[in-house]
Amino acid sequence: MTQLNLHASNSTPPPTNLQLIPLLQRTKDLYLLWYGYYKVLPKEHRYTLGGKIDNLLTEIIEAISSASFLVRAEKQPYIKMAIRKTDAIKIFLLILWETKSLNNQKYLALSEKIEAIGRMLGGWNGQLTKQNSLTKK
């Protein structure tokens, strides 16, 4: 009997019709970058700040994903939550950098991505605020 090895070749992703919105794609890319760094964080931070950042990133992905499927009037609470969590990640990353758990290069790479995501979330929130205020008039 032949045994299947489903994990042999992981170089090409499985075919998918899933087209992510740009914000969700950037957040996924950030998570994948973070995951590589998370695995090599010093133990004193891997299970504290590292775990917290990991959870916040997955919650941001969940909030953006949820917001993308909701009607306009229901999106804003999810976007605001993602903004708050993004701001918390910035502080936690700064702490990791200040304690030398993240080197300059890793901190810069993560910070640039999280800043871009924050700008996109802020733009989306501003657009929703403007649209919601126009519909209330």
128 lies in some domain: yes
Give the range of the structural domain holding residue 117, as residue numbers without chain letter: 22-132
Question: What CATH number is associated with residue 115?
Answer: 1.20.1440.60
Q: Is residue 108 part of a domain?
A: yes
**Quick one: pLDDT at residue 122?**
97
Domain count, the chain: 1
Tell me whether residue 15 is in a domain: no
17 has pLDDT over 70: no
Residue 76 pLDDT exceeds 80: yes
* Tens digit of each residue's pLDDT (9 = 90 or more) over 80-109: 999 999 999 999 999 999 999 999 999 999
Q: What is the distance between the alpha carbons of residues 79 and 104, in angstroms, rounded to a whole number? A: 29
Q: Is residue 13 part of a domain?
A: no
**pLDDT the model gives residue 22:** 94
From CA 41, how far away is CA 93, in angstroms rounded? 12
**Residue 8 in domain:** no
Residues 6+ apart with CB under 8 A from 34: 53, 54, 57, 110
The answer to whether position 76 is within a domain reads yes
Residue 74 resides in a domain: yes
Residues with Cβ within 8 Å of residue 121, at least 6 apart in sequence: 23, 64, 79, 82, 83, 86
> What is the value of pTM for the model shown?
0.83
What is residue 134's predicted lDDT score, i.e. its pLDDT? 76
Q: What percent of the chain is modeled with pLDDT above 70?
A: 85
Which band of pLDDT confidence, cut at 50, 70 and 90, is reported for residue 9? low
Question: What pLDDT is attached to residue 5?
Answer: 57
Residue 25, pLDDT > 80, answer yes
pLDDT of residue 135 exceeding 80: no
Residue 6 lies in a domain: no
